[in-house]
Amino acid sequence: MLIQKFHPALRPGQRLVLAASGKQLFSRQGDWDGGSALHCVAMALALLGKLADPVALSQSAACAEATFWDRAWPHYLHGLAHSELESFVWELNMGVRPVALHDGRGSILNFCELELKRGRPVIVGWRRHLVRDAHAALVIGIEGRQYKRTFEPHGLLLLDPAAAEPKLAACNARLVFGRQHPSYVTETHAYAVTVDTAIAIRPIARSPPTVISSGCA
């Protein structure tokens, strides 16, 4: 039996929305910017209740969204390297902390499964073979097979900011782990990738007051 397990803050339907507010979750990356990691952070913060609207950040007057946009826009065109993403999340000072599992230090698939069970969104970064690119997507679910009482995961269900908005579905891409390299799969493409890192965004139980930008009340 094929099983898909999603982050508990999601509500699938005709469009993927946040269960608490009904706001749309998917934040779309442009065709030529490098902001995939930034979009993923915004969606992850929305799942944790730190942002109310991850889609219209640049136009929002809400304090949390304005603070995020003030920090994010200088990086938007050239993007963030995977090594820079952890410090970016820390510097937001929004009551969360990044916890990274880099390639070679454990199973990324098992790490993502454990974090999602605890309600923590995960951002994965990968690159294609023989191509100089780097990309990030938000892990929102786990796919695997159920054998009696045992669940054996084999793939990550993703929201890829550069792919089309999922409709009548909860994800728009998958990372499928096989015996060799993982495969990145969408409706129209499938190719082997190297997964470089997975970064969980964990809420801090007792965080200091959020540092807000000028203009926020």
pLDDT digits (tens, 9 = 90+) for 69-120: 999 999 988 888 877 899 999 999 999 999 998 655 568 999 999 999 999 9
CATH number listed for the domain at residues 2-203: 3.90.70.10
Say if residue 129's pLDDT is above 90: no
Distance CA 182, CA 173 (A): 13
Percent of the chain with pLDDT over 90: 44
Q: What is the pLDDT of residue 138?
A: 97
- Between 14-18, 138-142, 181-185, 196-200, the lowest mean confidence (pLDDT) is in 14-18
Q: What is the pLDDT of residue 103?
A: 56
Under the banding of pLDDT at 50, 70 and 90, the label for residue 201 is very high
Query: Where along the chain do its domains lie?
Result: 2-203
pLDDT in tens, 26-74: 888 875 578 899 999 999 999 999 998 888 888 877 889 999 999 999 9
Q: What is the pLDDT of residue 56?
A: 82
Q: What is the pLDDT of residue 212?
A: 42
The answer to whether residues 212 and 135 touch, using CB atoms and an 8 Å cutoff, is: no
Q: What is the pLDDT of residue 130?
A: 66
Q: What is the pLDDT of residue 175?
A: 95
Under the banding of pLDDT at 50, 70 and 90, the label for residue 213 is very low
Q: What is the pLDDT of residue 137?
A: 95
Q: How far is CA 62 from the centre of its chain?
A: 22
Say if residue 4's pLDDT is above 90: no
6 contacts: CB under 8 Å, gap ≥ 6: 12, 140, 141, 157, 170
Mean pLDDT for 161-190 is 87
Mean pLDDT for 124-138 is 82
DSSP state of 126: E
Say if residue 5's pLDDT is above 80: yes
Residue with token string 């799942």: 47
Distance CA 111, CA 116 (A): 9
Q: What is the pLDDT of residue 13?
A: 80
